[in-house]
Structure 1
Amino acid sequence: MGISIGLMLVAGIVLLGVLLVIWGIGVYNRLVKERELVRNAMGQIAAQIESRWDALKSLIEATRQYAGHEADTFKSVTEARSRVTSQSTVADVEQDNQLFGRAMANINAVAEAYPDLKASSVYQQSMGAVDKYENQVRQSRMVYNDTVTKYNRTIQQVPSNIIAGIFNFSQERYFENSPEKAETPSWNA
Structure 2
Amino acid sequence: MKHCPNDLIMLFNDLFREDYRTILVKGSDEPEYLPAVEPAGVAQVVFAHGYYASALHEISHWCIAGERRRTLHDYGYWYCPDGRTSEQQREFEQVEVKPQAIEWLFALATGSRFHISADNLSGDGAADDKGFRTRVRAQVEKYLNSGLPYRANLFFETLKTFYGTGDRLVQSWELDRTRVAPADSESDAYRKAEVV
Give the TM-score of the pair, scaled to structure 2. 0.27
The structure that has the greater radius of gyration is 1
Q: Which has the higher contact order (CA 8 A, sep 6+)?
A: 1
**Per residue, is there more strand in 1 or in 2?**
2
